[in-house]
C-alpha cells in the first residue's frame, strides 16, 4: 500500500523518474519524485498527482520498445513483463 504525502507548500522538484507502460491496453504512469523544502531538507515517494508553478523542466527518453505490465499474483503488484 502506497502512502500519500500531501504537500501544501511551495517546494522544488529535484528529481523525477519513472516509466510509462501498457497494462491491459491502457498506458499506466509510475513515477517517483524527490522534493526539496526551502531549508534544504528533502522527501520523496510515489507521485499520484503533481502540479507545478511556475515551470518544470522535463527531459524524456522514448524507447522504441513498448513496456508492458502484467499482474503478479504473488505480490499483488503490476510489474513490467520483460518477456513481452
- Decide: pTM greater than 0.75: yes
- Predicted local distance difference test score (pLDDT) of residue 84: 74
List, in sequence order, every beta strand (DSSP E) within 24-74.
Answer: 26-36, 42-46, 69-72
**Mean model confidence pLDDT for the chain:** 91
Task: Report how far apart, in Å, the C-alpha atoms of 32 and of each of 19, 38, 45, 53, 64 are.
Answer: 9, 20, 5, 19, 23
Positions of E strands within 1-84: 12-23, 26-36, 42-46, 69-72, 77-80
Q: Cell numbers of 78, please?
A: 503490476
27: β partners: 22
Domain ranges of the chain: 12-80
pLDDT tens string 18-31: 999 999 999 999 99
Amino acid at each position: 500500500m502506497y502512502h500519500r504525502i500531501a504537500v501544501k507548500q511551495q517546494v522544488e522538484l529535484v528529481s523525477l523518474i519513472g516509466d510509462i507502460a501498457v497494462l491491459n491496453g491502457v498506458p499506466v504512469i509510475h513515477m517517483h519524485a524527490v522534493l526539496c523544502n526551502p531549508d534544504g531538507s528533502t522527501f520523496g515517494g510515489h507521485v499520484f498527482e503533481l502540479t507545478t508553478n511556475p515551470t518544470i523542466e522535463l527531459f524524456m527518453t522514448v524507447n522504441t520498445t513498448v513496456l508492458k505490465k502484467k499482474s503478479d499474483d504473488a505480490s499483488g503488484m503490476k510489474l513490467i513483463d520483460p518477456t513481452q
